[in-house]
Amino acid sequence: MKDHQIIALFEGSPPEVEVVIRTRATNLLAIAHEFGYVISAHRIYPQTGILRFVFARDDSEMARRRAAWAHYHYRINGAWWATSNPGPSLTAISPMQAGEARYGLYLQEQRPHSWYQWRAAGVAGAAAVLGIVQLFSSPLGAIICLAIALFFVSFMIWGPRWRARKEAEYRRTLEDFERQRVFWSYDQQGGGG
């Protein structure tokens, strides 16, 4: 979907917006955030590559302000990202990068770590049992099964640390993104263009 097609879905500030896309979701997530929406549900259809998102309107003061400025800049020249990206900089975070971080954080909140731990423990246990059974019939099969079990045990040990580091990175990205925001109008910039 093109930006103008996505923005048309958020026009009029409906309380809930459902979007079905077949492409990467970073533009969609960035636009939804700038226009004052948060992800309330999602569904991925892996066979077809289709993503379905449901967004709920965020009625907080900051979200409404952000949405008003996004609408303002979009109506002037189509630059819905104008307040979130102050200009060229080596450290500037694009709305798309913030969208990726927002989606990663959303996924982490949807699936608690214990969900992954139980799955990894189940696979490691099954692979270990299968490896022991294979030990009597096929030594190569036993080695492969035990290697799989070892991999999942290591995932259970280092997984929480990796996940916490990723969550901190997502939060830092989003904080830096919001910190770089500047609300400006074309009147303040000498007419703009």
pLDDT at residue 190 tops 50: no
Give CA–CA dist 85/94, Å, rounded.
Answer: 6
Give CA–CA dist 68/59, Å, rounded.
Answer: 12
What is the average pLDDT score of the chain? 83
pLDDT of residue 113: 67
Please state, for a pLDDT cut of 90, what percent of the chain lies above it. 10
104 pLDDT band (50/70/90 cuts)? confident
Tens digit of pLDDT for each residue in 131-182?
888 888 888 888 888 888 888 888 777 778 888 899 999 999 989 888 888 7
pLDDT of residue 189: 56
Average pLDDT rounded to a whole number, residues 24-44:
88
Q: Nearest Cα to 31, choosing from 71, 61, 62, 65?
A: 71
34 vs 47, residue with greater confidence: 34
87 pLDDT band (50/70/90 cuts)? low
Q: Nearest Cα to 38, choosing from 52, 22, 17, 24?
A: 17
pLDDT of residue 55: 93
Q: Output the furthest CA–CA distance in the chain (Å, rounded).
A: 82
